[in-house]
Amino acid sequence: MHKFLIRSFVSSLVLLFTLTVAAVAKDVKAAFVYIGPTGDHGWTYQHDVGRKAVEAAGFKTTYVEGVPESADAERVLRQLANSGHDIIFTTSFGYMNPTNKVAKEFPNVKFEHATGYKREHANVSTYAARFYEGRTILGTIAGTMTKSNVIGYVASFPIPEVIRGINSFTLAAQKVNPNIKTKIVWAFTWYDPGKEAEAAKALIDQGADVIAQHTDSTAIVQMAEKAGVYAFGQASDMDKFAPKAVLTSVENNWGPYYVDRVKAVANGTWNQKDTWHGIGDGMVVISDLDSQMPADLRSKVKKLQADLASGKVHSFTGPIYDQKGNLMVAEGKTADDGMLAGMMTYVKGVEGDIPK
């Protein structure tokens, strides 16, 4: 009996101590679910840079990489929600349904889904970046810098995000140079350096002297460097991979948003919302402009960047026609977000058909 009393006293002390420590250390814990490896130097890599910013702001973070967009995602999400994470970022479109499903089971955990549109429960927010604004800048530069008037574009998959980018790029390029032709090659991969390099080489051999890409690896800018043509970096600043070829890069900058949202959870001010940030909010960043660009082009680009940021200029300002000549956006109007989100037709001037 005596022993029992001591034992229970000690164990309750231990329990009390543990509870106290747990209560004191009740920091906000954030988790990130990635589609690819953090070593892709592209999409997932940039999300992980954002996660590191959260860590630097003093929060604990966890990440799971290479999570397939299937029932596995649900399992991972449930596991993360169960293990004391307060906010979970799911960073690929295909996590949309798993995120909403698991969110229903864990009303006290906040979920943030990237690039999706479903917010079925009060604890689900969505966020995405207006990368097409960056492509307006690239198109302006490409249309000015090309001498052959042939611009190559390596695309990944025919989804609205990519079509929107091609359209935004082409509209901007046509505006500064009505004679340009955008040749599009679909690589059907987000990253496969060998294939991307081959696609870029094919475009260069066919006379393209500026190459744009909507795939993730640095193989394309390196190929451009070798061939002596211009290119643009994707997702991160790729200048060091091809100092002569890269004129600028469009960077994905998730850090500020992530820090903001995790802080909101800590302060108890987190609320559901749908965020679609562009250059103005700093989610889309234009890297340094290369000095090979003439000074007047550089200042023009700077001004365009400022106007896109302030909303004075919109990437999709009418009149815009589709390939068949049908009016898509009337003169003086701009495309609304609904149209942008579901954009699956090429604008006039883009060659070829969208793969079905």
Q: Which residues sit at the interface with another protein, rule CB under 8 A?
A: 36-42, 45, 152, 183-189, 191-199, 201-203, 205-208, 217-219, 222-223, 236, 240-242, 351-353, 355-356
Q: Is residue 247 within 8 Å of residue 288, measured between CB atoms?
A: no
Using the minimum distance from each CB to another protein, give the nearer residue, 272 or 345. 345
User: Min. distance of Cβ 36 from another protein in angstroms?
Assistant: 8
Q: How many CB atoms lie within 10 A of CB 319?
A: 12
User: Min. distance of Cβ 66 from another protein in angstroms?
Assistant: 9
Using the minimum distance from each CB to another protein, give the nearer residue, 207 or 311. 207
Q: Across-strand partners of 111?
A: 88, 124
DSSP letters of 24-66? HT---EEEEE-SS-GGGSSHHHHHHHHHHHHHHTT-EEEEE-S
The Cα–Cα gap between 144 and 171 comes to 13
Using the minimum distance from each CB to another protein, give the nearer residue, 145 or 187. 187
Per DSSP (E only), the strands in the chain are 29-33, 60-64, 87-90, 110-114, 124-129, 150-155, 181-186, 210-213, 230-235, 246-252, 274-277, 284-286, 320-321, 327-329
CB-based contacts of 163: which residues, under 8 Å, 6+ apart? Answer: 343, 344, 345, 346, 354
**Token pair belonging to 21:** 């420590």
Using the minimum distance from each CB to another protein, give the nearer residue, 94 or 193. 193
User: Min. distance of Cβ 40 from another protein in angstroms?
Assistant: 6
Single-letter amino acid code for the residue at 181? K
User: Min. distance of Cβ 304 from another protein in angstroms?
Assistant: 28
For the chain, the straight-line distance linking the first and the last C-alpha, in angstroms and rounded, comes to 78
User: Min. distance of Cβ 248 from another protein in angstroms?
Assistant: 17
User: Min. distance of Cβ 212 from another protein in angstroms?
Assistant: 13
The Cα–Cα gap between 233 and 250 comes to 6
Using the minimum distance from each CB to another protein, give the nearer residue, 40 or 86. 40
User: Min. distance of Cβ 192 from another protein in angstroms?
Assistant: 4
Q: Across-strand partners of 325?
A: none
Using the minimum distance from each CB to another protein, give the nearer residue, 223 or 293. 223
Cα 258 to Cα 118, 126, 128, 264: the distances in Å are 19, 12, 12, 10
Q: Please, what is the angle between helix 71-82 and helix 96-105, to 10°? A: 40
Q: Is residue 39 within 8 Å of residue 45, measured between CB atoms?
A: yes
Using the minimum distance from each CB to another protein, give the nearer residue, 28 or 219. 219
Using the minimum distance from each CB to another protein, give the nearer residue, 47 or 261. 47
User: Min. distance of Cβ 174 from another protein in angstroms?
Assistant: 18
Q: Is the dihedral of CA 197, 203, 204, 206 positive or negative?
A: positive
Pairing of strands 320-321, 327-329: antiparallel
User: Min. distance of Cβ 181 from another protein in angstroms?
Assistant: 10
Using the minimum distance from each CB to another protein, give the nearer residue, 243 or 319. 243
